[in-house]
Amino acid sequence: MPIIEVKDLVRDYTITSGLVRRNKKTINAVRGISFSVERGEIFGLLGQNGAGKTTTIKMLITMLAPTSGTCKVLGYNTFGQEKMIRDKVNFIFGGEYGLYRRLSARDNLKYFANLYKVPLDTRDKYIDELLEMVGLSDRADTRVETFSKGMTQRVQIARGLINNPEVLFLDEPTVGLDPLGAETLRGIVKEANKRGTTILLTTHNMYEADELCNRIAIIKDGVFLDLDTPANIKARSDTKTTLEITLTKNPLNIATISGVSHVASSEKDGLTSLRVSCQSDNAISQVLAVIEPTTIKSFKNEVATLEDAYIQLVKGASE
């Protein structure tokens, strides 16, 4: 039996406005999505801000009631049977919230262990194991308010595992972290998964989703655009090759070349950086033909990424 089962899930919000609050507007945050997550999976939800990712997670962790549809975790309905779920799952929202900053890392974990009724005879040993796992054994008795953002997020992960949850929900766990801090946190997520925890995460980081997730769902305006393994989603993309080029002069009209599906550009220190998604070798040749060779500072040719596939799906859904 899947550890998470969602079928035709809908969540609407009603917003009132005006001086006497008579004007009402319905927001369709989630519009009939269906999916399941198997035990031991890392499942990813990808989408723009406002796509419905956090609303979906809040329904799964029993914080929001669905408007309609089926939403089950561990075989129980998240609304109506929430007491059967809450002590078996945990969640972490991105950012530095969810901890008491004037307490040490160890005291934070003791506090949350007591809330989850972790047996006292095993509590302290388990806390030591979690602190070692997240690399904070040497800072265990230091106040969290002195920690960097990355260290704080590591305490958050330990806090999320304090009840040894069957399912851990992570909402943008690496948001705001530097590359090294994000890499460290991804390693901790992998280790938690190896220990048997099923993980559902949201992220804007396509590299992170590709590295961590067994399967991903891409959501836009509360509807799934695709759901599959990262490899299969990339394989279905029209983009086959991506060119990354740094130039001293920005060529015109690359986006109009036949076979070019997307062009992203940025300017810095008098140089133009281009990321050009091409659907064929002929498109690559045409792109290079319009660029003056003497203006090229760097050039890289790579196979299509999950980011390319994501952009194509989201842009295509908007057209």
Q: What is the pLDDT of residue 194?
A: 95
pLDDT in tens, 160-179: 999 999 999 999 888 888 88
Domains delineated in the chain = 4-235 (3.40.50.300), 238-303 (3.30.70.260)
Mean pLDDT of all residues belonging to the chain: 91
pLDDT at 148 (0 to 100): 92
Quick: pLDDT tens for 283-292: 889 998 888 8
> What does the chain look like in DSSP terms, one character per residue?
--SEEEEEEEEEEEEEESTTS-EEEEEEEEEEEEEEE-TT-EEEEE--TTSSHHHHHHHHTTSS--SEEEEEETTEETTT-GGGTGGGEEEEESSS-SS-TTSBHHHHHHHHHHHTT--HHHHHHHHHHHHHHTT-GGGTTSBGGGS-HHHHHHHHHHHHTTT--SEEEEESTTTT--HHHHHHHHHHHHHHHHTT-EEEEEES-HHHHHHH-SEEEEEETTEEEEEE-HHHHHHH-S--EEEEEEESS--S-GGGSTTEEEEEEEEETTEEEEEEEESSHHHHHHHHHTS-GGGEEEEEEEE--HHHHHHHHHHHHH-
> Each residue of 57-110: pLDDT tens digit?
999 999 999 999 999 999 999 999 999 999 999 999 876 578 999 999 999 999
